[in-house]
Structure 1
Amino acid sequence: MLKLKKLTSALVIATALTVTATSVTAAVQPNMAKVEERKARKTQIVGERVGKTLVKAFDLYNEEKLDEAIAVLLDVNSNNEFDTATLNRFLGNLYATKDEKQAIKYLTLAVKPDVLTFNDQALSMKLLADMLLQDKQYQKAIKAYEDWIMFTGEQNSDAYMRIANAYYLMNQHDKVIAPADDAIRFSPKPTEGPYQLKMAALYELKRYKDLVAVVETMVQLFPENKQFWVYLGNFYTLTEEYSKSLSTLQLAYSQGYLEKDSEVRMLAQMYANNNIPYKAATTMEKHMKSGLVKKDKNNLNFIASNYQTAREFLKAAEYYGELAKMTNDADAYRRQGSSYLAIQRYNEAIAAFDKALSMNVDKPSGVYMSLVDAYFYQKKYKEAYAALMNAKKDPAMSRQVRSWESYIKDKAKQKGVSL
């Protein structure tokens, strides 16, 4: 965990300017004097008839007779505004468990006259906002949450989180950021939700530098969330900070956080992108052997080509051979032959080149020129010359053929070999 702490400490420094630069003004500014007036207003009591109805409905609800409870409330009317609002509030609460649209209807009627007690009005307004969000009436839900904040004076993290979520669900990604920031600011302790929403919105907006800064903060605040490390390593590539991507993924890997095929392949790719081909190949090879990474043509080719770049030609030849057998691909045999040729394993190289030619490899003249090398350095001048004549059929090879032809003839003559 020491490495983890060091990196998160570094990220604190990297994100300090972002944190301190955040505005302290919330999106919604309640009039606190009016809030206090509402809290101080006189409490009303429902009339006797309505009171008895409410008690009866409540008893039925406790007996899990929801429909009967609703029927009792619908059967009573009142000319008193407070009594009517109270009845509508109870209906809204009951419908909230079974019918969003009916809940919205009665909660809207309940809160409209603003005659309920402060707490009942506040609870009803919040439930109305939740029902609107649940019913995918996102714009109305946003207005309802803002009205609730204005009414209560409560700068509530959860309300701002839901506002941000509503904007995101409407694909208004530019409007997600401010309420997400408010959700972060007013939360009693850091929570992942608003950061994830902000991250998603910035990604959609292609604001990649801001995106990276947010995810750096997420890793700082929630270092045990494995996925955030993967996100950060991935998002660094969007800003072309490949060394940071690699160091982040290396650290996540050392902590055991890279658990998926795609995550290990990302790490291996970052080694390749940072010109560390040997680590790219061995990382992929290790997890292919363990079964985490699939043994397919793309991954075999990745291992082989990175071993070749790392000049581990014998290992490259081994994996090109596996790739060739799996895919029956002529070019894989050609590459295998080139790897063997690089380490002077001439017989293996010749066998691989011959296999490529038998499968109608693209640009056979190039393969014939490789055979010239393999035969010549074995002092098999007759075979080298025959391969050269095959290469000569391609006009594009004329310069290379000319440089070799007299040279092979001279060597053969010196050794008494008839061409």
Structure 2
Amino acid sequence: MTSMSKFTKTLFSASALSAALLVAPVTVALTGQAVAAEEESKYANRKTRKTPAMGLKVGNALGEAQAFAEAENWAEASRVLEEELGSKLDKLNSYERAQYYNFKGYLAYSKEDYKGAIAAYNNVLKQENLPPALEDNVTYTMAQLYFVMEQYQTSIDYMNKWMEYQETPSENALVILGQAYYSLGDQKNDVSYYRKGIPYIERAIKLYEEKGKEPKENWYLLLRVMYFELKEYRTVTDIVELLVTKWPKKEYWVQLAGMYGELTNEKGMTEKQKRELEQKQLTVYETAYRQGFLIKESELVNLSQLFLYHEIPYKSSKVLDRAMKEGKVEKNEKNWEYLSQAFINGQDYQKALMPLRKAAEMAKDGDLYMRLGQVYMQLDDYENAAKYIGLAIDKGKLRREDTAHVVRGMAYFNLGKLDDARKEFQSARKFDRSRKMADKWISYLSKEAKRLADIKEFLGG
């Protein structure tokens, strides 16, 4: 069913997802000795670093600046920082300079001056004998800043550097790294980066689950889009099934229906497997409809067409008829034709007349008038059959004009208008495809005319 294949392709987009929430840079403890002692066991595998102590005046200045920052008085925080520390950098030790630049980076970040923040944090990393905690905090922040600036490869490099020293990296960090790979692949139009990013997202989900916590919805969305671009549709389907279970939103119901349709196109699919997937697709889409999720014209028409494809014409006509009456589906040629076809397939020929007539009036060719005439033939209304097939011939551009003449001839025959019938069959015989049939009818009409004449003569007419 080609329309279903086209339908599923519209369900998904490879556009970039929003970034994971950034962790704002924070000021570290104001006593370097305390920091170094606290982190000593955690970073035992690093070289021993002798971090200089922080002077009282420096600590007080940073404390004052931090108080202004917490009140979001950025101007005063910056003033204190520069007057008390920035103007005396040559007199500060390496740890004090690191804390100055760290706070300066924080202020720049708070004002969304990302380039300024990066410059400041780079100066932090240039200082000697940094406490591992400070170095890691700044490295992690740099990774986030480069992500925000869409310099994804640099972001990845910093995040990988940070992870070298993390025995249990946080789930958010893993997600940022995974998304950086996704964004880099999107930027370079290279899906191989998605393959690199997927394990980090899956690891974050697993860690959350092991802690008895609910993984975030956006993590599954990121996985979904990467697997979709890798054309691993079965995995995508598994993810969307989970999304429907945990967050039963409209978009997930619609996407799940689309994925079942997509899976039917896989190579090696047996007819039985294909039918099962198509049935799942219909069930999911109908469930979405019953929950009131399907409100767009395309969605309602798609559901109606799905019912028709599964040979459930009654539901097909019911959905589309209701949607058109409620004004949710436009009353155009295509939709009138769909509705009439649903009625015809359900053998409700009487109800098919109105929508088919509406569609025929809007059509540029006479084919729908031809179909309308054939419906009237089914109803044994030969007068209207002849009328509308005549309109079909007059409107022209018929796919089978010869058939139109044959059917109209049959209508006239049933009306007892043998001369009119003969004219139609004579027109039909001009076409190679219908010549034999037309000749048979003409021969039959001649015999019938003679039979009627003999009866008339016998009756003394």
TM-score (norm: length of structure 1)? 0.83
Are the aligned partners of 2:43 and 2:132 in contact in 1 as well (CA < 8 Å)? Answer: no
After superposition, the Cα gap between the structure-2 partners of 1:250 and 1:75, relative to the gap in structure 1 and judged at 3 Å, is same
After superposition, what is the alpha-carbon deviation per residue over 1:62-86, rounded to whole angstroms, capped at 9, x for unaligned?
A: 5655356446434341452211111
Residue 295 of structure 1, CA deviation: 2.3
Q: Specify the SS of the correspondent of 2:392.
A: helix
Alpha-carbon distance in structure 2 between the residues aligned to 1:285 and 1:61: 63
- Separation of aligned partners in 1, 2:45 and 2:104: 24
Kindly state the Cα deviation for residue 252 of structure 1 after the two structures are TM-superposed: 2.0
| C-alpha deviation, 1:184, in angstroms | 1.5
CA root-mean-square deviation: 2.9
* 2:229 is aligned with 1:204: yes
Indicate yes or no: 2:289 matched with 1:276.
no
Q: Distance in 2 between matches of 1:41 and 1:256?
A: 64
Would the aligned equivalents of 1:86 and 1:116 in 2 still touch at CA under 8 Å?
no
CA contact (8 A) 1:375 1:384 kept: yes
Question: Partner amino acid for 1:406?
Answer: S
CA gap of 1:412–1:278, structure 2 versus 1, over 3 A, is farther
Superposition pairs of residues 44-63 of structure 1, within 5 angstroms: 45-61=53-69
Partner of 2:256: 232
In 2 relative to 1, CA 402–59 (structure 1 residues): closer, same or farther, beyond 3 Å? same
1:142 aligns to 2:156 (yes or no): yes
Equivalent of 1:75, from 78, 82, 87?
87
What corresponds to 1:86 in structure 2?
99
Moved more, 274-283 or 235-244: 274-283
Name the counterpart of 1:349. Answer: 385
Deviations 1:7-53 (A, max 9, x none): xxxxxxxxxxxxxxxxxxxxxxxxx9973538998886422453344
Q: Which residue of 1 aligns with 2:44?
A: 37
Say whether the 8 Å CA contact 1:249–1:267 is kept in structure 2.
yes
Q: Which amino acid aligns with 1:77?
A: L
SS of the residue aligned with 1:320? helix
2:205 aligns with 184
Q: CA deviation at 1:111?
A: 4.2
* Residues 321 and 115 of structure 1, relative CA distance in 2, 3 Å threshold: farther
Aligned residues: 386
Query: Which position in structure 2 is the counterpart of 1:295?
Result: 331
Q: Shift of residue 233 of structure 1?
A: 0.5
Question: Which one is further off, 265-274 or 397-406?
Answer: 265-274
Q: Which moved more, 1:256-265 or 1:77-86?
A: 256-265
State how far apart, in whole Å, the 2-side matches of 1:252 and 1:44 are.
Answer: 64
CA distance in 2, matches of 1:259, 1:114: 63
Alignment equivalent of 2:180, drawn from 162, 166, 171: 166
Deviation track 1:236-274 (CA, whole Å, cap 9, x = no partner) reads 100112111011112222222323333223322322232
The 2-side partners of 1:272 and 1:159 are apart by 49
In structure 2, relative to structure 1, the CA distance for the partners of 1:85 and 1:346 (3 Å cut) is same
CA deviations on 1:278-308 (whole Å, 9 max, x unpaired) are 3223212211211222222322222222332
Question: What is the CA–CA distance in structure 2 between the aligned matches of 1:336 and 1:169, rounded to whole Å?
Answer: 55
Counterpart residue number, 1:393: 430
CA distance change for structure 1 residues 160 and 385 in 2, over 3 Å: closer, same or farther? same
Task: Provide the rounded CA distance (Å) in 2 between the counterparts of 1:341 and 1:270.
Answer: 28
Q: Tell me the equivalent position of 1:364.
A: 401
Residue in 2 aligned with 1:129?
A: 143
In structure 2, what residue type is equivalent to 1:349?
A
Q: For 1:153 and 1:45, how far apart are their aligned partners in 2?
A: 28
- Taking structure 1 as reference, are residues 50 and 368 closer, same or farther at Cα in structure 2, changes over 3 Å only? same
Normalising by structure 2, report the TM-score. 0.76
Partner of 1:18: none
